[in-house]
Amino acid sequence: MSATYEGGTGEDPGAAAARLTGRPVTALRPLSGALAEVVLDGGQVVMVKRGTDPGAARAEAAGLRWLAEAGTVRVPAVHGHDPHWLVTERVPAGRPSAEAAARFGRDLAALHAAGAPAFGAPPPGGPEDAYIGLAPMRNVPGADWPTWYADHRVLPYLRRAVDDGTMRPAEAAVVERVCERLPDLAGPAEPPARLHGDLWNGNVLWGADGHAWLIDPAAHGGHRETDLAMLHLFGCPHLDHLLDGYRQSAPLADGWPDRIGLHQLFPLLVHAVLFGRGYAEQALAAARAALAA
């Protein structure tokens, strides 16, 4: 077991959970090479995750706590972490419903409204050098969203995609034109929102309590339309009901559907860097659509 989970510590998830919670472990069920369910003495079940790199667990723990502090969307409690391991509450699984999606939309609007000190601001206690999935992500504060989004979200991954040969220089020029025109394309100015930051469907758990729960954040201060654009990118059950609930609580600026592709550039380029050419083509299509909007 330890060979599968090592990650520089020599521990398995059970040993890590016992050390970080101070409670004996009675059972362990591996779910993947980086994740396991662990039963603590007394019957409590926790999730134990090994960070992909030193610092990843710290960034995720800080993000979870920052989202939880808003008191809006449900977020698993953090029971312990160190540079390699993260122990969190387990969410009993339920099924998505239209009612739960509408409630999630209202709660997500309230989370965004909780705000952030600046665009790119990391969660309190979180590192500037954080992660989105398996990719590094720098949380560098900026004063205005268009400049910050271009400099710290789009262009770093675009350069990496070109360097890796995933995107051709002529194609990259289309994305660069989007960045140049961002002040005109971004819509009305918005205050920094408290973002989940990696809000695809796999990071939304539909709990047995009838609520949506958020896991695996790449939390930072950003534009609220970015979270909504990622939900559109990979799909989400009852998305129409979710958006109705959101807009009832916090109306979106006119023209927001035309800006979805603009906000999808960041996650698409991250996926191009991690997973290859298909996502580079999607990013190019999103850039062209943004320019044509």
List, by residue number, the catalytic residues.
Answer: 198
Contact call for residues 174 and 291 (beta carbons, < 8 A): yes
The SS3 assignment for 40 reads strand
- Beta strands 35-40 and 45-50: pairing type? antiparallel
Task: Say if residues 251 and 217 touch (Cβ distance below 8 Å).
Answer: no
- Tell the residue number behind the tokens 């580079």, with chain if given: 280
Phi and psi torsions of 27, nearest 5°: -160, 155
Closest CA to 91 of 199, 200, 209, 198: 209
Tokens of 105: 């939309």
Is-contact 84 8, C-beta < 8 A?
yes
| Separation CA 278–CA 235 (nearest Å) | 18
